[in-house]
Amino acid sequence: MTLQVGVIGAGLMGTTHVRVLGSAVPTAEVVAISDAVPERGEQLARQAGVDRVTTDALELIHDPAVEAVVIASTADTHEPFVLACFEAGKPVLCEKPLAATPEAARRVLEAEAALGRRLVQVGFMRRFDPAYGQLKARIDAGAIGAPLVMHCAHRNPSVPPAFDTHMILTDAVVHEVDTLRWLLGQEVVRVTVLAPRASSKAPAGVQDPVMVIFETDAGAVVDVEAFVNAQYAYDIRCEVVGETGTAALGAPGFVDLRSEGTHGTELAMGFQQRFGEAYARELQSWVAGIADGVPTGAGAWDGYAASAVCEAAVAALASGGPTDVALEHRPGLYATAGPLAGGS
């Protein structure tokens, strides 16, 4: 059985999902594409050989030929489109964020809880990255004892011109928020953001890098250096320190190079390259989960929690002091942590 998928948004992530569905997920077929800009949707549809194209995402969601939906349009559209998928009873993979604000994410979560079944998966693809999967397997197996501290770095060589300080927290660090919650199985209760001297390579007025300190409900402390104009590579690091050892993210499948008198590891230059396999495994798992009736990956509770933590980080940067995170009631549908997606 082939799952008939509609993709909303023909920008970078929508294009990636269409390509990956076509090349790495034989049990799915993209049958419809929508984008608010007609030429963009038509161009992607032409490239992918898809003949149903529309500028109206709601039309795509309610199209009887579409069995499941991928949302990769702008953040402000996520809430209405995910709610429409719920109304249509269709499984949906929504790129992060789940919604534009924690309040909107909460509304999505409440709507799904009222349905009583999980329909939305949030596009936190790192859960499907093999290196992160191995790290999680070691932590879960007790190889380092109880986790105490986690050190992370999120470095992009550069980012688009519109990427401001706020986005460093909500678009980049949001991934560390999800990975720390997933790896440790703990919730963030407090956030502090420090502002080192800004790099001269960052646009004027952009605070880059930032240092974010998260405290969790089990007393662990996680630091994240986010530096999105780091020039040299796309470099994602993560080390978890436990009571009896430490475990760090391994090299993500790149070549160990000895050349011209040096020895080193090649690095990716962008997130599409670094997490290419994660995107493929994310979609494979989503499609398989729909067939099996078992949701995988991050769910609405994870999307809501990530959004609430990022909002606290924005407030912490503005205040210069710690900001508490208060997550509202966790509905029974999300009573246990989501399935532990991502292999070992």
The contact set with ligand ISE (CB under 6 A) reads 156, 159, 171-172, 175, 271
Which residue, 19 or 62, is less far from ligand ISE as judged by CB? 19
Q: How far is the CB of 234 from ligand ISE (least distance, A)?
A: 7
Half-sphere exposure of 124 toward its Cβ, with a 13 Å CA cutoff?
Answer: 36
* CB 179 to ligand ISE: min, Å: 11
Say which residues have a Cβ less than 8 Å from residue 158's Cβ, sequence separation at least 6. Answer: 228, 229, 231
Q: Shortest Cβ distance from residue 324 to ligand ISE (Å)?
A: 26
CB of 158 to ligand ISE, least distance (A): 10
CB of 162 to ligand ISE, least distance (A): 11
Quote the tokens at residue 165: 């300080």
User: By Cβ distance, which residue is nearest to ligand ISE?
Assistant: 271
Q: Are 27 and 2 in contact (CB under 8 A)?
A: yes
Nearest approach in angstroms of CB 66 to ligand ISE is 25
Residues in the chain: 344
Q: Nearer Cβ to ligand ISE, position 106 or 154?
A: 154
| Residue 261 identity (one-letter amino acid) | G
Measured from the CB atom, is 113 or 159 closer to ligand ISE? Answer: 159
Cβ(60)–Cβ(6) under 8 Å?
yes
Q: Can you name the residues that pair with 7 across neighbouring β-strands?
A: 33, 70
Non-local CB neighbours of 30 within 8 Å, separated by 6+ positions: 5, 6, 7, 18, 21, 22, 48, 50
Q: In the complex with ligand ISE, which residue's Cβ is closer, 144 or 283? A: 283
Q: What is the smallest separation between the CB atom of 21 and ligand ISE, expressed in angstroms? A: 18
At residue 180, φ and ψ (nearest 5 deg) are: -70, -40
Q: Which is nearer to ligand ISE, 11 or 339 (CB)?
A: 11
- Between 58 and 198, name the residue whose CB sits nearer to ligand ISE: 198
Please, what is the minimum distance in Å from the beta carbon of residue 328 to ligand ISE? 25
Task: Classify 122 in phi/psi space as left (phi over 0), alpha (psi -120 to 50) or beta.
Answer: beta
Q: Which is nearer to ligand ISE, 3 or 172 (CB)?
A: 172
Nearer to ligand ISE (CB atom), residue 86 or residue 163: 163
The long-range contacts involving 271-277, CB below 8 angstroms and separated by at least 24 positions, are 271/156, 271/234, 272/12, 272/16, 273/234, 274/234, 274/236, 275/125, 275/126, 275/129, 277/128, 277/129, 277/130, 277/253
Order across the sheet with 68-71: list the strands.
Answer: 52-54, 28-34, 3-8, 68-71, 92-94, 120-122
